[in-house]
Amino acid sequence: MSASHTGAGEHQLDIPHSAEEPIEGLPAGFGKGILGKAAFWIAFAFSLFQLWSAAYGTLPSQVVRAMHVGFLLLLGFALLGNLVAKTRSGTAWFWALGILGFLTGVYQWVNYVPLIHRSGFLTTTDLVVGSIMLVLVFEGARRLMGLPLTIIAGIFLAYCFFGQYLPAPFIHRGYPTDMIIEHFAFGTEGIYGTPIYVSAAYIFIFVVFAAFLERAGMLALFNDFALGLVGHWRGGPAQVCVLSSALMGTISGSGVANVVASGQFTIPLMKRFGFRSAFAGGVEATSSMGGQIMPPVMGAVAFIMAETLNVPYVDVVKAALIPAVLYFGVCFWMVHLEAGKAGLGGLDKAKLPDPWKAVRQHWPLVLPLGMLVYLLFAGYTPIFAGTMGLALIVVLILGTPIAALIGPFAFRMVFWITLGLAAAMFMKFGVNILMLVIGTLIAGCLFFKGGHETLAICRDSLAEGAKNALPVGIACAIVGIVIGTLTLTGIASTFIGAIIRVGESNLFLSLVLTMITCLILGMGIPTIPNYIITSSLAGPALLELGVPLLVSHMFVFYFGILADLTPPVALACFAAAPMAKTSGLKISLQATKLATAGFVVPFMAVYTPALMLQDGGPMAENYGYWVEVAYVLFKACAGIALWGMAVVGHLFGKALWWERIAAFAAGVLMILYLPMTDEAGFVLGLIVVIAHWLRVRRIKREEAAA
């Protein structure tokens, strides 16, 4: 196993690893000088605390949540002071805010039992600490996530204070200030609600896991594998972009970050190959955002969804599997058609890397990801699976320099087998045996060649993982204000009632209204808070209208993702704009075409839940469940394929205007859930494709004869 790494000294703390990219609201790195080192080691300590609490679970959940928010505020403000502040006084101010935020978490830890006893009768000091924490969360979210999410949360909080003065149906009975502060700053339905619990218990581990894999060379493996496997296909560079983004989605869930990380290489390559700038940017934005629906991580929303619905995590992954395949299948198909329209072929296969050779060379990197997927599907909890996957990658990284010193191949295999068995003893003897194995490897790395560099990889991965978790953690904290308002005031029932009244006469109209709500909210806020807010409002309403629970939550999740691709905001597209050297709006229009499946599949799943592997319908009763699944999948593929022909204007050759209209109509008929529409769609689609093929073949014969 190979891993690229820079030196382990001071220079490395100031200049970030080349794989690290800026995250929302912050430049790359930790800063320079003493404060840069301090921020680095705070991030390192943050990761150690989270991993220790996950491995041993001895702290009360409320304490873990409070310290998680405290570390988020400390690290977030410290990085703002180091990387954003222009003056020394500004730097000092941010650091003071960070320390103050961290102390609010310490206060809850120290006073955990007294606070329980004082529930409902908080002291003045409690209320002051709670107020400070609320203000700091808002300021941290404003700095790191931008104004839209902060404004939305602020409106909800203001509603708690002033809702009693509003007209019906928005009026509530009114709540005293101390009750509001206690609800949001000390209970488990405000800042420390389910979202921050999931961030602390699940998301953080998977973010650190991804950081370790990236440091160990997983990105290079993904790129080599994608390049060798699909680079020779028609439109090769764009196909590589789609596949590598799909693979990246298995370990990383940040769509915009994926655009920034991979787009600087893929977009120029696509442009040099002959693709239009807007299309190249659209391919990168669409495929990168698709990583959030790709199991097993799914942009961390899968963990929140499983916790919110109280269903096994594997059920969420199963529901997302077919839609994810369809999403990326459409991306491949649209690239294929666009490349055919532009007369572009593929890359020279002889010059491409062997994908399976890349896997053979870096096969140890696949083991942690494979173990993670196995444990998740075997029914283990995400926190257990994530911890074990992370422990395995750490063992592999630490064992590599030691194994490199063992000469004969057979002896190296014995070393790895022994190490694997020792780590596997965790299943019988508990986490201490695993810590003993890791501790022994760390001690060994101190005395062997290459060991210090390997330890630096682990150190830097822990720090980078904590920094990468900042946007998600802050978003989960601030969105707790929204959830807390819904539980305190009951305003959600008003929104739910409105959707139900519309849906009683027209379910499709209710779905469209929900979609519009998700797209509008998603214009300014990330996917996770968008999902949490809209699922809290629209999810129960869709359930009342007969939509299966998991499908209703997937519905709002998907359109929350698509908000980053649709005009006018389209964050992922504007992130790709500087690299494509064209406007974000033009990229957004291309991305919207490419993401056809993302718009269609949620509606199809509502009417045919088998598409998300939920309960079957009449066809399942008559012919069997898997027959219905296969039929719905085939119908979706056929309809989307025809839409691709209509949108791009190419199949076997250039499509005429009437062929495009007919193909679009056939696709619509296949998607609709009405009597005889499937049959009509298949017949019309078959006629269009055959007529188009015959016409193109005739033209080619005439050209050849001439």
Summarised one tens digit per residue, pLDDT across range 521-546 is: 766 667 777 788 778 777 787 888 88
DSSP 3-state of 425: coil
Highest-confidence range of 67-81, 180-194, 493-507, by mean pLDDT?
A: 67-81
Can you give the pLDDT at residue 75?
95
CA-closest candidate to residue 289, choices 568, 591, 603, 600: 591
When comparing pLDDT for 186 and 507, which is higher? Answer: 186
pLDDT of amino acid 105: 94
At 45 the pLDDT is: 95
Tell me the H-state helices in 343-450: 355-361, 363-377, 382-404, 409-424, 426-429, 431-445
pLDDT digits (tens, 9 = 90+) for 447-463: 877 778 888 888 898 99
- So what's the pLDDT on residue 251? 66
pLDDT at position 252 is: 62
Please list, in sequence order, all residues whose beta carbon lies within 8 angstroms of the beta carbon of residue 234, skipping any fewer than 6 positions away. 335, 336, 339, 340, 344, 345, 346
For the residues 53-60, what does the mean pLDDT come to? Answer: 82
- CB-based contact 259:286 (threshold 8 Å): no
The Cα 462–Cα 397 span in angstroms is 13
The whole-chain average pLDDT of the chain stands at 82
pLDDT level of residue 419 (50, 70, 90 thresholds)? confident
pLDDT of 25 reads 57
On the question of pLDDT at 47 being above 60, the answer is yes
Q: What is the DSSP string of 516-545?
A: HHHHHHHTTS-HHHHHHHHHHHHHHHHHHT
**Highest-confidence segment of 107-116, 500-509, 597-606:** 107-116
pLDDT score of 49 more than 90: yes
Rounded to whole angstroms, the Cα distance separating 617 from 611 reads 11
What pLDDT does residue 138 have? 94
Would the pLDDT of 286 be above 70? yes
User: Looking at residues 422-434, what average pLDDT do you find?
Assistant: 75
Q: Can you tell me the distance from the alpha carbon of 181 to that of 409, in angstroms, rounded to the nearest whole number? A: 63
Q: H/E element holding 506?
A: none
Q: Is the pLDDT of residue 6 over 50?
A: no
Predicted TM-score (pTM) above 0.85: no
- State residue 8's pLDDT score: 34
Please tell me the predicted confidence (pLDDT) of residue 253: 56
What is the arithmetic mean of pLDDT over 61-90? 92
| Residue 288 Ramachandran class (φ > 0 left, ψ -120 to 50 alpha, else beta) | alpha
Q: What is the pLDDT of residues 554-568, one digit of tens each?
A: 888 888 778 878 876
Q: How does residue 254 score in pLDDT terms, banded at 50, 70 and 90?
A: low
Of 412 and 395, the one with more pLDDT: 395
Place of tokens 């193909």: 663
The pLDDT, as a whole number, for residue 576 is: 82
Q: Between the ranges 5-14, 104-113, 546-555, where is the mean pLDDT highest?
A: 104-113
The mean pLDDT of 328-355, rounded to a whole number, is 83
Cα torsion through 237, 296, 595, 597, rounded to 10: 120
| Chain segment 7-28, per-residue pLDDT in tens | 333 333 332 333 344 445 577 7
Q: Alpha helix (H) ranges present in 291-312? A: 301-309
